[in-house]
Structure 1
Amino acid sequence: MDALADTRFRLTVHYDGSAFHGWQVQPDQRTVQGVLETALSRLADGPKGIMGSGRTDAGVHSTGQVFSVDMAPRWDAPSLRKSLNALLPDDAWIESAAQAPPDFHPRYDAARRTYRYEIGLRPEAASPFHKRWCWPLGEPLDLALLRQAASAIPGERSFGAFAKAGQPERGERCHVYVVAWSETVLGTRLTITADRYLHHMVRYLTGTMVDIARGRRPLDDMARLLDNEPDMVTSPPAPASGLFLHHVEYPEPEAS
C-alpha cells in the first residue's frame, strides 16, 4: 500500500453463510470475499482486494468477521460503510467501518477469536425461519454433561484429533480460553474463544460433546481425545448451519 495515496480501513461484516461457498474467493463459486471485492471494486473504479481475519467454510455465518481494504483518500469511514452497504446483497451487511493503521492486518494482528454454535432443541427449530441458523436437533440434551465435557477443553495443547486437516506451517497447538454452554429460547449455545482454530475444530468439538450429552459415548472420551490417545476418533462434525464467527479481538493500541 502507498501510505501517501491510500487509507486503510477496518470493517466488520455480518453474513448469512447459507448461500455462500465460504469466505475465500474460489473460481466459479459465490463467496463472501468475492461479493465484497466486487462491490469495493465498483466503488474504487478498479480491482480491489481485501484481507480477512480468517476463513469460514460453506454454510458458516458471521456476526463479527473483520477485513481490511485500502481506499483512495477521498473516502472516509462513514461514507465507505454507507456506499458499500448500498451495493451488497441481502445476505451481507457492514456493521462498522473505521480508519486503521497502515500496517493493520486482520488475521495476523488478531489476539482471540470467538465462535458461537447454536443448537435447536425445541421442535420449532426445524422451522424454515430457524433451521438455517442452527443445528435443528429437536430433542433434549443433558446440559450438565455438555458442561462437564466442555470443562476439559480450555488450555494450550494439540487439537489435532479435532481437525479435518492441520496447518503444517503453524502446527496443531491452540490456546482455548473459554468453552461455555448456555440456554437459549430454542435450545442451547456453545461459546468458545481461542487464539486460533484448526479446520472444522469447533464443529468436531461440538459434535463430540453432543454425542456425550446424548449418551452415545462416555464422558471420559473427551479427555482421551484431547490427550491424542491412539485409535480414538471424534464424533462427526456438527453441521455448518449452527456455526457463527461472533467476534475477533485485537490488542488495545499502545498509548503514545
Structure 2
Amino acid sequence: MTSGEEIRFRLDIHYDGSGFYGWQIQPERRTVQGVLQDAVERVARVSRTVTGSGRTDRGVHATGQVASVELPAKWTSETLARALNAVLPEDVWIQAARRTHPGFHPRFDAVARSYEYRVGTEAEARSPFHRRYCWPVDDALDRGLLDRAAALIPGRRSFRAFAKSGQPERGTRCRVDRAVWEAWSGPGLRFTITADRYLHHMVRYLVGTMVDVARRRRAPTEIDGLLNDSDTDLWTSPPAPPQGLFLTRVEYGPVAGEGDAVGSRRTERAPES
C-alpha cells in the first residue's frame, strides 16, 4: 500500500434519535451525520463525508444503520471502531467497523431495509424509560384487527396514500416482504416491516392507520382500498409519532458490504431492538 492510499470502511451504527434533527447534516442543527463526521475529523485529522444507507427523520432511532467513509489505509477496523467510540457522544455507538470494497454504497447497494415500530399498550409505556422509544396508546387495541390489517400490506403495491411526499423519479410502488405485529420485551406491541424501499413517513402512516383500525375507528378493508390507489375518497389516519420508529436492519447482496467486521467493546448500548 502506498502512503496516500485510502480504504472504504463500512460502519454499523446504533443511535438514540431523541436528541437529533434526523440523520442528514443541516446547518446549525445537531444531526447524526454531523456528529459522525465531526468524530471522524477528530480521530483521523481529515474531513470526510459519512454516507448513510438512508435518512432517518428527527426523533427516529436506529439499531441497524449502515454508513461508509473513506480513510487512510493505516486504519484498521478495530482501531477505527475504538477511536470513534472514544469521542462519540453517548447517544451514538459504532457497533462494528469493517473494510469493504471501493465501490460499496450503503444506500444504492441495499436490497432491503427493516423497520420496527413500538406501540405501548400498557400503563408502564408512559414511564420515562419507555415513552421516548414507543408511542403510548391509551385506547384498547384489538390485536386481531391489527393482524388482519398487517396481512394486507405485503406484496408490490402503491403506497402513495401512505406518504408525506412522493418520489416522482422512482414512483410510489414498493415491494413489502414482511409486515407483522408481535410482542416486544417492553409494555406493548411492535410492528416489523421489511421492504425494498420506503416513501417518506410511510411506516408511520401505516402504523397510525392500523392503530385506528385496532381502535375500531375504521375498517381493515380500508387498508386494502388505500393500497389499491383507486379510491380517492379514502385518507390515511395521521402518522404515528417518530419516537417509536427504529431502523433495525439493512440487507445487501452477497458481495456488497463484505469485509473484516470488528465489533466494539464499548458497553453503552442504544435502545434494544
TM bucket, shorter chain: over 0.9
Secondary structure, counterpart of 2:110 in structure 1: coil
Whole-Å separation in 2 of the counterparts to 1:21 and 1:67: 18
Does the CA-based 8 Å contact 1:126-1:138 persist in structure 2?
no
Query: What's the counterpart of residue 243 of structure 1?
Result: 245
Superposition deviation, residue 173 in structure 1: 1.1
TM-score (norm 2): 0.90
Query: What's the counterpart of residue 165 of structure 1?
Result: 165
Secondary structure, counterpart of 1:144 in structure 2: helix
Query: What's the counterpart of residue 107 of structure 2?
Result: 107
Superposition deviation, residue 48 in structure 1: 1.2
Does the CA-based 8 Å contact 1:159-1:172 persist in structure 2?
yes
Query: What's the counterpart of residue 90 of structure 1?
Result: 90
Does the CA-based 8 Å contact 2:21-2:31 persist in structure 1?
yes
TM-score (norm 1): 0.96
Which amino acid is the alignment partner of residue 238 of structure 2?
P
User: How many aligned positions are there?
Assistant: 253
Query: What's the counterpart of residue 131 of structure 1?
Result: 131
Query: What's the counterpart of residue 202 of structure 1?
Result: 203
Farther off after superposition, 164-173 or 79-88: 164-173
Q: Deviations over 1:85-123 (max 9, x none)?
A: 001001000001111100000000001000000011110
Q: Deviations over 1:155-192 (max 9, x none)?
A: 11211000000112111111000001002341100000
Secondary structure, counterpart of 2:28 in structure 1: coil
Which amino acid is the alignment partner of residue 71 of structure 1?
L
1:191 and 2:192 aligned: yes
Whole-Å separation in 1 of the counterparts to 2:31 and 2:99: 25
Question: Aligned-residue CA RMSD in angstroms?
Answer: 1.4
Structure 2 counterparts to residues 10-29 of structure 1, below 5 A: 10-29=10-29
Identify which of structures 1 and 2 has the higher relative contact order when contacts are C-alpha pairs closer than 8 Å and 6+ apart.
2
Does the CA-based 8 Å contact 2:143-2:214 persist in structure 1?
yes
Query: What's the counterpart of residue 78 of structure 2?
Result: 78
Superposition deviation, residue 41 in structure 1: 1.1
Secondary structure, counterpart of 2:82 in structure 1: helix
Whole-Å separation in 2 of the counterparts to 1:47 and 1:211: 47
Does the CA-based 8 Å contact 1:122-1:139 persist in structure 2?
no
Which amino acid is the alignment partner of residue 123 of structure 1?
A
Secondary structure, counterpart of 2:104 in structure 1: coil
Whole-Å separation in 2 of the counterparts to 1:75 and 1:172: 41
Which amino acid is the alignment partner of residue 236 of structure 2?
T
Please identify runs of 4+ aligned residues in structure 1 that moved more than 3 A: none
Secondary structure, counterpart of 2:79 in structure 1: helix
Query: What's the counterpart of residue 175 of structure 2?
Result: 175
Secondary structure, counterpart of 1:42 in structure 2: helix
Whole-Å separation in 2 of the counterparts to 1:132 and 1:199: 21
Gaps of 5+ in 1: none
Structure 2 counterparts to residues 36-51 of structure 1, below 5 A: 36-51=36-51
Superposition deviation, residue 47 in structure 1: 1.2
Superposition deviation, residue 53 in structure 1: 0.3
Query: What's the counterpart of residue 232 of structure 1?
Result: 234
Gaps of 5+ in 2: 257-273
Which amino acid is the alignment partner of residue 178 of structure 2?
V
Which amino acid is the alignment partner of residue 252 of structure 1?
P
Which amino acid is the alignment partner of residue 147 of structure 1?
D
Whole-Å separation in 2 of the counterparts to 1:52 and 1:215: 39
Query: What's the counterpart of residue 269 of structure 2?
Result: none
Which amino acid is the alignment partner of residue 155 of structure 1?
G
Q: Deviations over 1:14-64 (max 9, x none)?
A: 000001000000111000000000000112212111111000000000000
Query: What's the counterpart of residue 215 of structure 1?
Result: 216
Structure 2 counterparts to residues 51-66 of structure 1, below 5 A: 51-66=51-66
Secondary structure, counterpart of 2:18 in structure 1: helix
Does the CA-based 8 Å contact 1:125-1:138 persist in structure 2?
no
Whole-Å separation in 2 of the counterparts to 1:107 and 1:164: 21
